[in-house]
Amino acid sequence: MKWFLQFLVSSIGRKILMSLSGFVLMFFLVFHLSANMTILRGNGELFNQVAQVLSSVHVLRILEALLVLFFALHIVQAYYLRYLEAKARPKGYAMRKQFGTNPASLIMIYTGSIILLFLVFHIKMFFVDVRMAGNHDMYSAVRDAFKTGWNGWHWLFTVASLAALSFHLVHGAESAFQTLGLRHKKYTPFIRLFAITFAVLIPAAFAVLPVYFHFFK
Ligand code: HEM
């Protein structure tokens, strides 16, 4: 057990935790998006039913607790690794110049911080103020949030956060595979293609909802 804890706090252990938690969060995004897409059918009856089922199935509370744990692990490790990196960097080398490096990789901590800020507002708005408050009309809550929320700016904040998510995923998804040792000249192009496709399609599909509700509802 001691060796395992030592491994977890080693720099490679921390990177592997970042990668595994990143995969779990990517899986969550696909699940969350699938549930969200039901909002486009009818006048929200199906979406409200889905939200009702998701909030009443007890086993999902365990998955939610695990989700919080993985988010926390991912965020704490990211800031800690960044701190170690800054400490190890020689003084006067303020700008990281890495030629041939994907620019998205240099701003991971900033795009990650935007996503974190988005999540704080997002969970307060839908999870705390609607679900935990016992309101069963999640559809109206989402529609109003994007139509008029924050004096009409909430939809734009959401779309901007989704753009940050896209940049975060371009590098994050590829790097998660590489950390687990999947770097090979035969597979790397496929992994890169998968990462780019995921990073573009998933945030773009999420962004359909704020745009749809703000402009067309
Ligand atoms: C822009 C489109 C999005 C919409 C319309 C949306 C909508 C919602 C709604 C209605 C809930 C409450 C669900 C319930 O408790 O029944 C929720 C929860 C949540 N959302 Fe989103 N969401 C969007 C994007 C995102 C993104 C991009 C992320 C992650 C980066 C995210 C992360 C979460 C988390 C962690 C929760 C709490 C856990 C849960 O209830 O499953 N959401 N969202």
User: Domains along the chain?
Assistant: 15-87+103-216 (1.20.1300.10)
Q: Choose the weakest-confidence range: 14-28, 61-75, 99-113, 139-153.
A: 99-113
Using CA atoms, how far residue 137 sits from 61, 97, 147, 172, in Å, is 20, 50, 16, 35
**Measured distance CA(122)–CA(169) in Å, rounded:** 19
| Residue 55 in this model has a pLDDT that exceeds 70 | yes
176, amino acid identity: A
Please tell me the distance between residue 206's alpha carbon and the centre of ligand 1 in angstroms: 10
**Measured distance CA(78)–CA(73) in Å, rounded:** 8
**186 SS3 class:** coil
| Residue 131 in this model has a pLDDT that exceeds 60 | yes
DSSP per-residue string spanning 49-107: HHHHHHHH-THHHHHHHHHHHHHHHHHHHHHHHHHHHHHHSPTT--S---TT--HHHHT
For residue range 76-96, list pLDDT tens digits in order: 999 998 898 888 876 655 555
Residues with CB under 6 A from ligand 1: 32, 36, 51, 54-55, 64, 115, 119, 122-123, 126-127, 131, 138, 142, 158, 165, 206, 209-210
Using CA atoms, how far residue 47 sits from 127, 170, 206, 209, in Å, is 15, 30, 15, 13
Answer for the pair 174, 106: CB distance below 8 angstroms, yes or no: no
Please give the model's pTM, rounded to 2 decimal places: 0.91
- Which of 34, 74, 121, 122 best tests ligand 1's pocket when mutated (most atoms within 8 Å of CB)? 122
Greater pLDDT, 71 or 2: 71
In the chain, % of residues over pLDDT 90: 74
**β strands within the chain, DSSP E:** none
Greater pLDDT, 14 or 162: 162
Greater pLDDT, 27 or 8: 27
Q: Choose the weakest-confidence range: 2-11, 123-132, 191-200.
A: 2-11
Q: Choose the weakest-confidence range: 13-27, 91-105, 156-170, 172-186.
A: 91-105
Buried b (16+ CB within 10 A) or exposed e, 57-81: eeeeeeeeeebeebbebbbebbeeb
